[in-house]
Amino acid sequence: MIELLKAALLNRKHLRLVIVLCFSMVALSIASSLEIVALGLLANTKSFLGGQASSSKLLAKLSSFLDAHLNFETDFRMFVVFLVCISIFKALTLFVSRYYSQIIGIKVSMDLRERYFKHIQTLSMPFFHKNEMGSLANKAVADAGQIANSVSSLFTNYLLTPFQAVTTICGCFYISWKLSLMIFICFPLLMFPIIFFTKKVKKHSQSLFINQEKFTGILLDFLLGIQTIKVYAKEMFSFKKYKQKNDEVAKFEFKAAKYAQMPRPVLHMITSLFLAGIIIIGHVSNINLAEMMVLVGLLYLFYEPVKRFAEENANIQRGVVAASRMLDILKEKPHIEDHVDAKPIKEFKNAIAFHDVWFKYEDDWVLKGMSFEIKKGQTVAFCGKTGCGKSTLINLLVRLYDPQKGSITIDGQDIKMLTQTSVKDLFAFVLQKSFFFLETVAQNMGFGAEYTLEELQEAARLSESLEFIEKMPAGFDAFLQEGGKNLSGGQQQRLSIARALLKKAPILVFDEATSHLDNISEQKIKSSLKNLKGKLTQIIIAHRLTTIENCDKIIYVEDGKIIQTGTKDELLESCPSFHSMWYAAVQQEKV
C-alpha cells in the first residue's frame, strides 16, 4: 500500500487534487447519510399523517425542525423537494469524487511513465543487458496502466470508507447504542477474510506480472523476427511457443480472478447475517419502525463500502505490485556517473589514447592490455575476426562501459574526469544497426537538432542519399515508417551516414557502416569521405577490408590484443593474419 501511495505522490502537484477529492468524499458520505435519514423522516411523517404518534425522539426533533422551515406536515410537496435536493447533492458529490479519483489515476500514470522513461535513459548499458526489452516495455505500459486504475480505487475506497464509517457509526449510536455494539462484533469477522484474500491476490499478482512480461517478450521477439519465421515456414512453431506462454499467463489470471472475486460474497454473507440479527433484536426490543429503517440503512451504508473495498482490494493489490516494480526501476542507479569534479571538454585538439586497457562484460576478458593512440585528423581502422573486441573499443570510448583496468584519455585528460555529454558531443556514429523513428526524413537526420535545408542536402549528397530522398513523395518531409522499414537496408545505412555527417562532430566513427551498401554506393561514399581526410578524425571498424585500404593506420586485433599496427602495405608484409584476411576479402570481391 505504501508503494502505491509513494507512486501517487511522487509529484507533489497531485496533493492538491487529493485534497479536493477528500472534501468531495466527505460531502458524499454526508449526502449518503442524509439520504437514509430522509427515508426515516418519510416513515416518521407517514406515521404522523396516519395519526400515529412517533416514538423516535431523534426523528421527531428533525421533523419539527424541518417542518418549522419547510412546512413538511401540511405541504408534502416540500418533502419531495427536500428529497430531490438531497439526491442532486449526492449526484454532484458522487460525480466530483469519481471524476477526481480518475483524474488523479490518469495524472499519476502519465507522470510515472514520463519519470520511468526519462530515468531508464540515464541508466548504463549493463542495465539493458540485464533486463529484457519486453519486460521494460511492459512496465511502461501495463504496469503504469494498472497503477492508474489502482490509484483511483485506492482513493475512492480508502477515503470514502472511513468517512462513511464515522458518519454512519455516529448516527447508529445516537439511535441505539446497544444495537450498534454489534458493529464491533462484526467488524473483526470482516477483516479476517480481507487480510487472507489480500495476501493471496498479491502473491498471484506478482506471478502474473512476471509471466505477462515473459509473454510480451516472446511476442516482441516473434514480431521482430517475422521475416525469418516466414522464410523458414515456422509459423506453427512460433504459434506453439506463443500459445504455451499464453496458456501459462491465463493459468495465473484464473487463479488471480478466483481470489479477487471471493471476498465480496463472503463479506456479503457475514453482513447479511448480522443485519438480520439486528432486525430481529430490534423487533423484539420494540424499536420504532422509522428508527429501525434509519438504523438498518446506516448499517448498510457502513458495510457496503467495506464489501466494495474488499472487492476492489484485488485491484489495489495489483497496483501495489505494479508500483513496487516501477519504483524498483526508478531506484536503479547508473553504473557510470559523472565524477563530482568532472569538467566538460569543449573541443578535440590533439589525440585519443588507450593506456593498457582491460575490459570484460562478465567473466572472460574481451580486451587485454590495449594501448594505442589516434591523432587528430587521422583515419584509423580496427580489423580482426568477429568477436575480437573491435566494437567494444567504441563502447568504452564514449563511456557506455568503463574498463576494469587502465585508462582512456582525450587530449591527455582521463575521460572519467570529463562530463559524459561533452565527450559524446565530440563523436558522430554510424552503427551496424540503423535506428529510425516515426518522423520525417529531416527529423530523423537531425535527431532532435534543427538544420537548414541546405545543410540537410549537403549531408545527403555526401552520403549518396540525396537521390532517393528527392524521389520520395515529400522529399525531406516524407515520413519514415517504424524502424525505417519503408527504406531498403542500403538506404537506411546511407541515411545514418548523412545523420553522422550532419552533426559535424570532430570525430567520425563507422562501425561496420557499409555492410549493406552495393559496391558503387560504397565507392562513392569512400570518395566523399576521402575528401574529409585530415579535416575529421575517422575511426573505422570493418569486416570489408577494402573500405580501409586508404587509412593512415590499421590496427589488427586478435583475441582482445593488438597484434600489429601499420598501413595496409606494412601489415601485408608483417602480419600473416591480416595478409590472409586481406587475400580472402579480395577474392570475395572478385567473385
Distances, alpha carbon 177 to alpha carbons 99, 313, 451, in Å: 36, 30, 78
What was the pLDDT predicted at 53?
Answer: 44
Which residues contact residue 52 at a Cβ distance below 8 angstroms, ignoring those fewer than 6 apart?
A: none
| pLDDT surpassing 80 at residue 331 | yes
Higher pLDDT, 160 or 349: 349
Which residues contact residue 292 at a Cβ distance below 8 angstroms, ignoring those fewer than 6 apart?
A: 279, 282, 283
- The rounded percent of the chain whose pLDDT value lies above 90 is 16
**Out of 422-431, 444-453, 482-491, 548-557, least confident range:** 482-491
What was the pLDDT predicted at 547?
Answer: 75
**Out of 121-130, 173-182, 579-588, least confident range:** 173-182
In the chain, residues under CATH classification 3.40.50.300 are 351-590
| pLDDT surpassing 80 at residue 117 | yes
Higher pLDDT, 569 or 532: 569
Mean pLDDT, rounded, for 421-444:
88
Per-residue pLDDT reduced to its tens digit, 380-414: 999 888 888 888 898 899 999 999 999 999 999 99
Which residues contact residue 201 at a Cβ distance below 8 angstroms, ignoring those fewer than 6 apart?
A: 256, 259, 260, 313, 314, 317, 318
What was the pLDDT predicted at 76?
Answer: 62
Place 464 in a pLDDT band, splitting at 50, 70 and 90: confident
| pLDDT surpassing 60 at residue 110 | yes
151 vs 132: CA distance, rounded Å: 27
Q: Please say whether the beta carbons of 165 and 305 come within 8 A.
A: yes
| pLDDT surpassing 90 at residue 343 | yes
Tell me yes or no: is domain 351-590 CATH 3.40.50.300: yes
Place 208 in a pLDDT band, splitting at 50, 70 and 90: confident
Cβ-based neighbour number of residue 259 at 10 Å: 20
What was the pLDDT predicted at 75?
Answer: 55
Amino acid at 320: V
Q: Which residue has the cell 404518534?
A: 53
Mean pLDDT, rounded, for 153-179:
69
What was the pLDDT predicted at 409?
Answer: 96
| pLDDT surpassing 70 at residue 160 | no
> Cell for 349?
585538439
| pLDDT surpassing 90 at residue 217 | no
| pLDDT surpassing 50 at residue 239 | yes
What was the pLDDT predicted at 358?
Answer: 95
> Rounded to 5 degrees, what angle do the CA atoms 531, 537, 540 make?
90
Mean pLDDT, rounded, for 548-553:
85
What was the pLDDT predicted at 372?
Answer: 93
Higher pLDDT, 118 or 150: 118
Higher pLDDT, 326 or 194: 326
What was the pLDDT predicted at 420?
Answer: 92
Best CA proximity match to 506, nearest among 428, 447, 398, 393: 428
| pLDDT surpassing 70 at residue 70 | no
Most confident of 20-34, 429-443, 520-534: 429-443
Most confident of 204-208, 351-355, 521-525, 530-534: 351-355
* Bridge partners, 405 (sequence order): 358
What was the pLDDT predicted at 49?
Answer: 44
- The rounded percent of the chain whose pLDDT value lies above 70 is 78
Higher pLDDT, 416 or 93: 416
Place 301 in a pLDDT band, splitting at 50, 70 and 90: low
CATH class of the 2-330 domain in this structure: mainly alpha
Q: Please say whether the beta carbons of 143 and 212 come within 8 A.
A: no
Mean pLDDT, rounded, for 121-134:
84
What was the pLDDT predicted at 11?
Answer: 65
| pLDDT surpassing 50 at residue 47 | no
Higher pLDDT, 531 or 118: 118
Mean pLDDT, rounded, for 437-461:
89
Place 508 in a pLDDT band, splitting at 50, 70 and 90: very high
483 vs 489: CA distance, rounded Å: 11
358 vs 354: CA distance, rounded Å: 10
Mean pLDDT, rounded, for 38-65:
52
Higher pLDDT, 69 or 405: 405
What was the pLDDT predicted at 374?
Answer: 94
If you write DSSP's letter for every residue of 9-51 in order, what string do you get?
TSSTTHHHHHHHHHHHHHHHHHHHHHHHHHHHHHHHHHHHHTT
**Out of 247-261, 288-302, 500-514, least confident range:** 288-302
The dihedrals phi and psi of 148, each to the nearest 5 degrees, come to -60, -45
Identify the sign of the CA torsion 187, 193, 199, 203.
negative
Mean pLDDT, rounded, for 464-472:
88
What was the pLDDT predicted at 14?
Answer: 72
In the chain, residues under CATH classification 1.20.1560.10 are 2-330
The dihedrals phi and psi of 409, each to the nearest 5 degrees, come to -125, 150
| pLDDT surpassing 80 at residue 308 | no
Distances, alpha carbon 495 to alpha carbons 313, 432, 454, 468, in Å: 52, 13, 16, 10
Higher pLDDT, 54 or 296: 296
Higher pLDDT, 152 or 43: 152
Higher pLDDT, 355 or 160: 355
Per-residue pLDDT reduced to its tens digit, 356-382: 999 998 888 999 999 999 999 999 999
